[in-house]
Structure 1
Amino acid sequence: MSAGLMILTSLSAGTTCWGDTGKIELRPKGYLLTDEAYVVPLADGRDTVEMLESQAAEIGALRRYVSSQDRIVDTVSADIAALEAARMREREAWARSVEKLQRRNKKLRSPWSVG
């Protein structure tokens, strides 16, 4: 969830508008537009391409970060499962020990016990 939020935030920072932006065309100066279009100067087009490339690099870095976090979470989950299994084994051993002590105490309290 947080990875998606980070990606969305990084993308929205460079995005000027949402939805259908129409068709971007380069037209010479003074050209009369007959269709709905955006006229983008060449320098702005290059800036847009650079921005898209930098965002693609950021997304790649975020993807690698999320993958590393997934591996860490998997490792922690495996460690927790191992600790839980060890705790259950310890609990079972403790319960057997308590039962054994209770049987010994019962034998010692018996009027027929020696000593």
Structure 2
Amino acid sequence: MSITTLQTFLGDDLHAFAAYDGEEIGNYYVHDDLEELLSEEDIDAIQQNTIFESIGSRGLESIYPEAGTLRATIHEFEEMIVINVLVADTEGVLLSVDADTDVQVRAIVDRCRTHFTE
């Protein structure tokens, strides 16, 4: 998924975006306001957590078999919502948006999954 596509869809609500493949995170964007707040160590920690979270998705699916395939995990904070959209066992898209975004999280997940798997 291109950053331009997400920026058009989410506008200024988009804080950050990255695609990952289980090995590394790439193709990423960080809004200027956040870029100065994140160190390399912060980015490494986010990368590791994202990969571990995607690996753990099978465990959640076994706990809730009636729920179907895990499509995303969502972490809501005071100032932002962090969405990890899972598209394969260890592949996905990680993004964060303003906590008060007008775009529904479901629409964001659907857009990412559709575009990323094409």
| Shorter-normalised TM range | under 0.3
Highest RCO, 1 vs 2 (Cα 8 Å, sep ≥ 6): 2
Query: Which structure has the larger Rg?
Result: 1
Instruction: Calculate the TM-score normalised by the size of structure 1.
Output: 0.28
Identify the structure with the greater strand proportion.
Answer: 2
TM-score between the two structures when normalised by the length of structure 2: 0.27
